[in-house]
Structure 1
Amino acid sequence: MSGGVRRRLLPVDRVAIGYFGWTGLVALVFGGLSGAGIAAAHAIAIFGITRLAAWHPRAGLAAIARGAYAVLITPLLYAELSVLNRFFTQRYFDATVQAWDAALFGGQPSIDLSAWLPWLSFSEVLHLGYFGYYAIIPAAILGVFATRGIEAFQRTALAVASAFFAAYLIFMFFPVAGPRYEFVQIGGSIGEGTLFGIVHGILEAGSSKGTAFPSSHIAASLAGVVAAGREDRRWFWLLLIPELALTAGTVYGRFHYATDALAGILLGLLVCAVLRRTGSGAEGIRVVGGGQPAA
């Protein structure tokens, strides 16, 4: 990669290239024929990102796509994790995480919460909170774009993408299936809820086994909330309650162990702290617009 291309890359480009490069190399070395296919796809992705280097639209859908493409492609990368995490081990580490839950919380909150609070209305609220994940990240990124502009948008999207990629790397080497696979589904009146059925139906259709620890839902959405809040404090307070509901819903609905949720919180905060300390977002401002970061 030439020096001119490197200078034009956004921080999110560098993060994406790092992820594609590392996972592609691991797949090529350890994944056999299927790994070679993944490595080839990742090499094409890296080439495509370098071709983006000179494209820096300042407004409209083009600017949104340029700044948030790494977030937009995470569902595709999520889908391949059930293959990637088989290259190193054929086991899942649920027993380890269940032991952590027992040590930290004195039991299994992913079972106990719904048993302690077996109310349909309460369950529906928390399942709505879990479903809110699909709104929190777009609200954080696009909200900041609307109120603080392209530079703030880039920094927020970078935080979300970095949290996703960090979680995905952990999934590769420490796959955990999660309570959905280990424990029976919640029954009784709770299991008859409308939102319960919608959320569990979505997961049945699109889940990737081995991606429970840490919760990437929590890590990425919290990174987005915190990063957006640094740009415009209003977005932090607007999204805090939905984020708390998401966190509680992941455990109550038996989508994640409590330790998964805790690790997701810590990862999201760590990503934001690292990006702030390294000034990666500010670098993106200089590359794209030459201006100063938003207040």
Structure 2
Amino acid sequence: MTGRPGLLALDRLSIGYFAATGLAVLLFGGLPGAGIAAAHGLFIFGIIRLASWHPRAGLGGVIRASYAVLLTPALYAELAVLNRFFTQRYFDTTVQRWDAAMFSVQPSMELSTLLPWLPFSEVLHLGYFAYYAIVPAALVGVYRTRGFDALHRTAFAVAAAFFVSYLIFTFFPVAGPRYEFVRIGGEIGDGTLYRLVHGILETGSSKGTAFPSSHIAASLAAVVAAGREDPRWFWLLIVPEIALTIGTVYGRFHYAADALGGAILALAVCLAVYGTGFRSSGPGNPRPESRHQKG
């Protein structure tokens, strides 16, 4: 089953992100920026070519409706380079002041000090690790129960949360507590999941990507959007999402303001998608099926 050619809303969103960041680094990034801009231009060309491909079932349908989310790890990796084109500082002191103003303390330091219980720490670190399952589960799950257009709307919300986060990281880089504060020690630091999560971050994180928490923004957007399509996915995924949200602060991965900012961004994106008559299909394509139509 295929629709007639036409750009999907996700395509336009992705083109907008690649164009905005590509133009910015072309203007301010010198020769390295020109290379990144050229790569972004190739992505735009590829997305435009995708307009003639509209599978609505099987693996092809999943990829077509959610490819932008699949690209986000690569886009995340380039952020540590992108933000150096625009500023040589990190804005951690600003975010730390926000935390102090809201909570009178630094929650990212105080939570693990007040609750130094290994089982509790391991549960929260498992919650943080669950990020890698929440987004795929929401996307694949909603596709299985509600079909292509429901997947596309959910993926659009997730991609929008990622892209807005990445734009903020580019111009307002914040390193995060992991770089600013000492690591958690004692019994907690010997936890299996603690070591697993910190090991992953040591090898795969981009500096300057703390505010807002894209982990929370994207995963909560996935939970809320998937829940809007099929409430079962909200109730299945909200518990690990809560553990993820608390775990980002407890594990000193993010400031409390990062977590709050990510949650607000997720809810704002979902409100924009589901409160403004979002049209899933591109020009000339079939209009979205009912929320209750099986895929």
2:192 aligned with 1:191, yes or no? no
In the other structure, the counterpart of 2:240 is 242
In the aligned structure 2, how far is the partner of 1:192 from the partner of 1:217? 24
In the aligned structure 2, how far is the partner of 1:291 from the partner of 1:15? 18
Aligned counterparts, 1:1-295, within 5 A: 8-280=6-278, 282-284=279-281, 288-295=285-292
- Is the 2:99–2:255 Cα contact (8 Å) retained in structure 1? yes
Displacement after TM superposition at 1:227 (Å): 0.4
How has the CA–CA distance of structure 1 residues 60 and 106 changed in structure 2, closer, same or farther, with 3 Å as cutoff?
Answer: same
SS of 1:210's equivalent in the other structure is coil
Which residue type is aligned with residue 243 of structure 1? E
- Is the 1:191–1:197 Cα contact (8 Å) retained in structure 2? yes
Kindly provide the CA deviation profile for residues 93-148 of structure 1, in whole angstroms up to 9, marking residues without a partner as x.
00000000000011000000000000010000000000000000011111101111
Which residue type is aligned with residue 227 of structure 1? A
Displacement after TM superposition at 1:286 (Å): 6.9
Aligned length: 288
- TM-score normalised by structure 2 residue count: 0.95
| Identical amino acids, percent of aligned pairs | 69
In the aligned structure 1, how far is the partner of 2:15 from the partner of 2:174? 26
SS of 1:284's equivalent in the other structure is coil
Which residue type is aligned with residue 268 of structure 1? A
In the aligned structure 2, how far is the partner of 1:184 from the partner of 1:176? 16
Which residue type is aligned with residue 25 of structure 2? A
- Is the 1:101–1:257 Cα contact (8 Å) retained in structure 2? yes
In the aligned structure 1, how far is the partner of 2:286 from the partner of 2:258? 39
Kindly provide the CA deviation profile for residues 189-239 of structure 1, in whole angstroms up to 9, marking residues without a partner as x.
100000000000000000000000000000000111110011001111111
- TM-score normalised by structure 1 residue count: 0.95
Unaligned runs of 5+ in 1: 1-6
Q: Which has the higher helix share?
A: 1
Which residue type is aligned with residue 20 of structure 1? F
In the aligned structure 1, how far is the partner of 2:290 from the partner of 2:283? 9
In the aligned structure 2, how far is the partner of 1:217 from the partner of 1:97? 17
Displacement after TM superposition at 1:293 (Å): 3.5
Unaligned runs of 5+ in 2: none
Kindly provide the CA deviation profile for residues 136-191 of structure 1, in whole angstroms up to 9, marking residues without a partner as x.
00111111011111111111111101100010000011100000000011000100
- Is the 1:27–1:38 Cα contact (8 Å) retained in structure 2? yes
How has the CA–CA distance of structure 1 residues 287 and 77 changed in structure 2, closer, same or farther, with 3 Å as cutoff?
Answer: farther
